[in-house]
């Protein structure tokens, strides 16, 4: 498996948009995820979309975003939109994608990385520290995590 920026493998953009939309979106929000993913191809510092590729197939994705929680714009950058294809789960692909973003953020000199999740007990296993709850727009309580780099 290798992990590369989406700009190296743009043929997987539609696949990643569909994964994000189905995992994190509402019925009508495919265009929202298309905007995030397509804007990550513009060459700006944020957002960056990474893709895990194995045997010529995309098996997972993760984002490095400027903002993933509009109620907490004091916090950045974020590890966001982590997704592993169902056929590839339980083999540590998620861990590898997390480590890739951690190293990427570290190499750019950021002192701290953030993420939020609707579930607990998972990210703690990879060394993320809980930082209480926050609100996903407009009123969904979520768990906030960080790690120092």
Which residues in this chain contact ligand COA in the complex, by CB under 6 A? 23, 82-84, 89-95, 117, 119, 121-122
Residue 119's φ and ψ, nearest 5 degrees, are -120, 155
Main-chain dihedrals φ then ψ at residue 4, nearest 5 degrees: -135, 160
Helices (H) then strands (E): counts for the chain: 3, 7
Name the minimum Å distance from CB 105 to ligand COA. 17
Which is closer to ligand COA, CB of 22 or CB of 44?
A: 22
Shortest distance (Å) from residue 4 CB to ligand COA = 17
- Cβ nearer to ligand COA, comparing 43 with 132: 132
Nearer to ligand COA, 90 or 109 (CB): 90
Q: Report the nearest approach of ligand COA to the CB of residue 112 (Å).
A: 18
Q: In the sheet that 140-148 helps form, which strands lie side by side, from edge to edge?
A: 2-5, 48-54, 57-65, 78-84, 112-117, 140-148, 129-136
Of the pair 109, 121, the CB lying nearest ligand COA is at 121
87: Cβ contacts below 8 Å, ≥ 6 apart: 59
At its nearest, how many Å lie between ligand COA and the CB of residue 95?
4
Token pair recorded at residue 41: 């191809």
Minimum CB separation of residue 125 from ligand COA in Å reads 8
Q: How far apart are the first and last CA of the chain?
A: 24
For ligand COA, which is the closer residue by CB, 117 or 131?
Answer: 117
């Amino acid at each position: 498996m290798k992990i590369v920026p989406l700009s190296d493998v743009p043929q997987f953009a539609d696949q990643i948009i569909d994964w994000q939309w189905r995992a994190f979106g509402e019925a009508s929000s495919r265009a929202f995820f298309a905007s995030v993913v397509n804007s990550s191809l513009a060459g700006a510092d944020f957002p960056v979309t990474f893709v895990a590729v194995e045997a010529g197939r995309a098996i997972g994705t993760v984002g490095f975003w400027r903002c993933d929680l509009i109620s907490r714009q004091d916090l950045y950058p974020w590890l966001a939109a982590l997704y592993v294809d169902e056929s590839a789960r339980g083999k540590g692909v998620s861990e590898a994608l997390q480590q890739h973003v951690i190293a990427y953020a570290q190499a750019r000199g950021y002192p701290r990385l953030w993420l939020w999740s609707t579930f607990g007990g998972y990210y703690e296993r990879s060394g993320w520290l809980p930082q209480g709850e926050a609100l996903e727009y407009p009123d969904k309580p979520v768990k906030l995590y960080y790690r120092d780099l």
